[in-house]
């Protein structure tokens, strides 16, 4: 989609295979083809976004708030009619279970509606005058310019839109690149974009980052880099920009969220929360629990019961009832997980669940590794897949130091009883991460709450409310009279 037109592509394409098969045996099925844009076409798409922004003088950045809202409302109405087809693609392309696929779609619609409401409030606030020392200020929020937005494969709809929608509503124009897995599910929505927004406001590029996104950054015409994905890609793209100091960053990156199980934790609750926390969508969530710290006093019982619970989980195609473990969209992921398991074993860890590491073509059954130590790859890396490291601890002070020394700082789950007793611990933990979940697994939602992280985990904040601010700048008119 460029300059309001759907481009027909005659160049090089990649075939997109489904993650799953309609039979229980895995046979890849071709779902479609995805064009690899070349550099010149990508730059033409950029030109379309720059023209629509027109150095802040275009139709979109100067449009009245009410009109911009009606474009967005129009879009969401059309989007709602595509629910069934998008949900189907979420299952086939990335292997997300049927309930989770429906949830992703509905959550995205809700995100857009909440954004519209928050934007209306922002507009009401900007109508107020502020007075100081005889000066009246009419403070509002204005757009930043042209946004390059890159979405992740694990939430190809919701997280891509968590960047795109606030960027658009604040008056920016956007070039967005969907992730390779999850690209097809956006096609049913392209027409809705085309019909709802002025030409050139929403533009889409496909292809490899270094071939399409990097040349766009090199032009220096991007004002905001908005990306949810890994730090390496974010840094590489940022480095391409000739005036890095002018670039606003809105980044949702990696995390290694710990689950801490204290000696007095309710183990039934802790085990269930750690199951969903580590393994929902096969652990392919930045908010997944990626390491469990279990106190030595309860370690034996926790390990035994947790390992048994993992082995009871059902694997299968995403539409099957009661299935939690589903095929992995990244073909190399099972090998990568296997390497992490082998490396941990080399340093003395054991796989403590019977089915752990069992392989099929596009899946590896979750392995619970114990005891995990600092020299292991699984201790340091964000596995983003089905493998669960457990590390024993006996000193909370040492554990806090360990969390403080991590390169990440998104969330923590703390399992224990007696809020008064653990209050000081909670107060310390919120200085190390950005969200402490009490007796529950880590998660991003509800989307109206701040979603961010310290250190290498994020730049900027991505909740409905905060994202409107992340994609805008405060401007004002000052005068002596009201
Ligand atoms: O990949 C990171 C996602 O933002 C996680 O979102 O907690 O709603 O699954 P979630």
How does pLDDT run across 131-181, given as a tens digit for each residue?
999 999 989 999 999 999 999 999 999 999 999 999 999 999 999 999 888
How does pLDDT run across 362-387, given as a tens digit for each residue?
899 999 999 999 999 999 999 999 99
Provide the ipTM: 0.96
Query: What value does the mean pLDDT take over residues 474-480?
Result: 92
Backbone φ, ψ for residue 150 (5° rounding): -120, 125
Predicted confidence band of residue 115 (pLDDT cuts 50, 70, 90): very high
Predicted confidence band of residue 29 (pLDDT cuts 50, 70, 90): confident
The whole-angstrom separation of Cα 272 and Cα 280 is 11
Query: What value does the mean pLDDT take over residues 91-104?
Result: 95
CA of 188 to the centre of ligand 1 (A): 23
Is the model's pLDDT at 27 over the cut of 80? no
**pLDDT for the residue 25:** 61
Query: What value does the mean pLDDT take over residues 285-293?
Result: 98
Please name the residues in contact with 446: beta carbons below 8 A apart, sequence gap of 6 or more: none
- Matching residue, tokens 């089905």: 386
Predicted confidence band of residue 23 (pLDDT cuts 50, 70, 90): low
How does pLDDT run across 416-473, given as a tens digit for each residue?
998 888 999 999 999 999 999 999 999 999 999 999 999 999 999 999 999 999 999 9
Is the model's pLDDT at 199 over the cut of 80? yes
CA of 64 to the centre of ligand 1 (A): 33
**pLDDT for the residue 127:** 80
The whole-angstrom separation of Cα 183 and Cα 205 is 10
CA of 89 to the centre of ligand 1 (A): 19
Stretch among 103-107, 122-126, 370-374, 395-399 having the lowest mean pLDDT:
122-126
How does pLDDT run across 318-366, given as a tens digit for each residue?
999 999 999 999 989 999 999 999 999 999 999 999 999 999 888 999 9
7: number of Cβ within 10 Å: 17
Is the model's pLDDT at 129 over the cut of 90? no
The whole-angstrom separation of Cα 95 and Cα 88 is 10
**pLDDT for the residue 35:** 76
**pLDDT for the residue 125:** 87
The whole-angstrom separation of Cα 41 and Cα 191 is 20
More confident residue, 61 or 22: 61
The whole-angstrom separation of Cα 267 and Cα 164 is 41
Contact 281, 182 (CB under 8 A): no
Strand (E) positions, 18-59?
30-35
The whole-angstrom separation of Cα 101 and Cα 83 is 10
Q: Whose alpha carbon is nearest atom 7 of ligand 1? A: 443
- The minimum-distance atom of ligand 1 relative to the CA of 445 is 8
Q: Which of 206, 152, 184 is nearest to 32 (CA)?
A: 184
Reading the block at residue 383, the tokens are 């596995």
Reading the block at residue 301, the tokens are 């019982």
- For the chain, the first-to-last Cα distance in angstroms comes to 44
pTM: 0.95
Query: What value does the mean pLDDT take over residues 307-318?
Result: 96
Predicted confidence band of residue 305 (pLDDT cuts 50, 70, 90): very high
CA of 227 to the centre of ligand 1 (A): 14
Q: Is 443 in the pocket of ligand 1 (CB under 6 A)?
A: yes
The whole-angstrom separation of Cα 162 and Cα 181 is 18
**pLDDT for the residue 295:** 98
Q: Is 286 in the pocket of ligand 1 (CB under 6 A)?
A: yes
Residue burial 442-466, b: 16+ Cβ < 10 Å; e: rest: bbbeebeeebbbbbbbbbbbbbbbb
Top mutation candidate among 96, 285, 449 for ligand 1, by most atoms within 8 Å of CB: 285
Query: What value does the mean pLDDT take over residues 185-206?
Result: 95
- The minimum-distance atom of ligand 1 relative to the CA of 444 is 7
Mean pLDDT of the chain: 94
- The percent of residues in the chain predicted with pLDDT above 70, rounded, is 96
CA of 287 to the centre of ligand 1 (A): 5
């Amino acid at each position: 989609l460029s300059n309001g037109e759907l481009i027909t592509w005659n160049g090089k394409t990649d075939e997109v295979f489904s993650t799953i098969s309609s039979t229980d045996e895995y046979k890849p099925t071709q779902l479609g083809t995805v064009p690899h844009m070349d550099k010149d076409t990508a730059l033409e798409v950029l030109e379309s976004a720059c023209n629509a922004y027109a150095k802040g003088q275009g139709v979109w950045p100067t449009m009245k708030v009410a009109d911009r809202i009606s474009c967005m409302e129009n879009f969401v109405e059309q989007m709602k009619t595509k629910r069934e087809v998008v949900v189907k693609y979420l299952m086939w392309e990335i292997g997300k279970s049927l309930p989770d696929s429906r949830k992703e779609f509905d959550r995205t619609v809700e995100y857009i509606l909440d954004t519209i409401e928050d934007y209306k409030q922002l507009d009401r606030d900007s109508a107020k005058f502020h007075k100081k020392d005889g000066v009246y200020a009419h403070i509002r929020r204005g757009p930043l310019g042209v946004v390059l937005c890159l979405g992740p494969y694990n939430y190809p709809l919701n997280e891509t839109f968590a960047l795109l929608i606030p960027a658009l509503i604040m008056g920016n124009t956007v070039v967005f690149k969907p992730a390779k897995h999850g690209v097809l599910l956006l096609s049913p929505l392209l027409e809705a974009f085309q019909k709802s927004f002025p030409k050139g406001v929403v533009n889409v590029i496909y292809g490899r980052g270094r071939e399409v996104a990097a040349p766009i950054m090199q032009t220096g015409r991007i004002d905001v880099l908005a990306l949810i994905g890994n730090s390496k890609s974010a840094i590489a793209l940022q480095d391409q920009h000739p005036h890095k100091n002018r670039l606003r960053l809105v980044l949702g990156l990696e995390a290694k969220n710990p689950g801490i199980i204290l000696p007095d934790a309710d183990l039934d609750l802790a085990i269930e929360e750690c199951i969903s926390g580590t393994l929902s969508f096969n652990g392919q969530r930045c908010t997944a629990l990626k390491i469990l710290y279990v106190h030595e006093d309860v370690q034996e019982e926790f390990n035994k019961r947790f390992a048994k619970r993992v082995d009871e989980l059902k694997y299968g195609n995403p539409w099957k009832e009661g299935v939690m473990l589903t095929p992995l969209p990244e073909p190399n992921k099972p090998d990568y997980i296997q390497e992490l398991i082998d490396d941990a074993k080399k340093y003395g860890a054991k796989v403590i669940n019977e089915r752990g590491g069992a392989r099929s073509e596009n899946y590896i059954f979750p392995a619970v590794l114990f005891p995990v130590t600092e020299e292991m790859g699984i201790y340091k890396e964000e596995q983003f897949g089905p493998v669960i490291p457990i590390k024993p601890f006996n000193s909370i002070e040492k554990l806090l130091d360990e969390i403080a020394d991590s390169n990440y700082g998104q969330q923590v789950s703390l399992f224990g009883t007696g809020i008064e007793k653990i209050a000081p611990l909670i107060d310390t933990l919120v200085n190390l991460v950005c969200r402490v979940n009490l007796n529950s697994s880590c998660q991003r939602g509800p989307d109206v709450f701040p979603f961010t992280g310290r250190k290498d985990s994020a730049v900027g904040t991505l909740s409905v409310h905060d994202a409107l601010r992340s994609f805008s700048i405060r401007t004002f008119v000052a005068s002596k009279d009201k």
